[in-house]
Structure 1
């Protein structure tokens, strides 16, 4: 009897039936096995059934870095994330095949994004930002970690002390720069004050003084000069010093003196007939006084012989003694005064008139 042609199947599903003389033999199809052996013959102990074989129980069924998936009557291997099968097929099985590491850092587009550094690891890769950038997920993000990796610019200027004193911080993409403020210059990574006054002696113009201050300079006028309203110390290009007319103050010189203005100063001179108390021809200061000169004390007398000299403030007058009268030819101005005798005088009765 050919038991293998009977229905239902004598060996059961997923089996192969082979008719033998007076009996039959059962074996399982590939991927299945029977607890009674794969070549069960009618009459042996037990009953024949085929159950699926889990090939993945064998750790050598798939190569390293691969995942084994059991199927009905078979299995297949798939490379883990970050690996590629050596035969190029997504599902494979059989000896000699390998899972090769994928260099994600050589792929396009870049896995880590712009402004980043990609480092290939076995089955994955690591992302870090280039200097001047940072990532909200950390600067050493590895594939598989939470979040996605992006690099954003670091504003270094938000950190105090990034730039030296007296400088401004200018942020740029991935970096920054320091610029010295006006009036300062860069020296050995520091900003030092520029002494504008020593660089240009005529910076403030004539009759002025230049004063250096941190980061700038200031102009002021020399004594005896003033700054008009049209110029300001903060804008030296308009700065101009104008002479002060000290003689406009009528009290700059004492009484009986004349005031003479000079650039940046003045001097006093006593009027004719007066002399300074300390004897100077020209002087300054309100403490000095002009005292009257007593011309009548001079020797010889400024009035000449047979005359009387009378002193007056700043001057003097001349008159003749009795018996003399001014000589008209010599009485026009001081220093040329002379007296002549009154030779027309009448003598007393019985007297003789003698002209002296």
Structure 2
């Protein structure tokens, strides 16, 4: 009779930051992460994802600048193409694309993509659905690895990811457009 003996590999001991900032528990042939408050288990309990929402900044030049109108998770802020360069208060710069830190946060080293948990392949981040306030007053169009905003006539896209124009406060519903048209005919 043939028998095999294999020893368990303690992933928690060999890779001490594997569940960071959670706690790693070794099991026979595997491990699981116990995540702190505001973090969620992902990848079948193999990692902890930060679910905290905070300030997202469009620009970072030594300090965070141009705060966006909506709070986002660090992943939403830093991983979407052209969304944010800094996150949280106090401000933390987003990791640079192509770096290990960017890959660790975003699941892919390429901005605008994340790794599908089931297939392990990169998939496009739909910034338009993930961040509902993007392209406010305009139309957000998702693109592979990016997005674009189409602004109505008289509006322009600004550095806070919204369409703004001189009629911004006057034209807020489709009915006000009809009212302005009606006044013009009078």
- Whether these two folds match at TM > 0.5 is no
Between Structure 1 and Structure 2, which shows a larger proportion of helix residues?
2
Higher relative contact order (CA 8 A, sep 6+): 2
TM-score, structure 1 normalization:
0.18
Between Structure 1 and Structure 2, which shows a larger proportion of strand residues?
1
TM-score, structure 2 normalization:
0.31
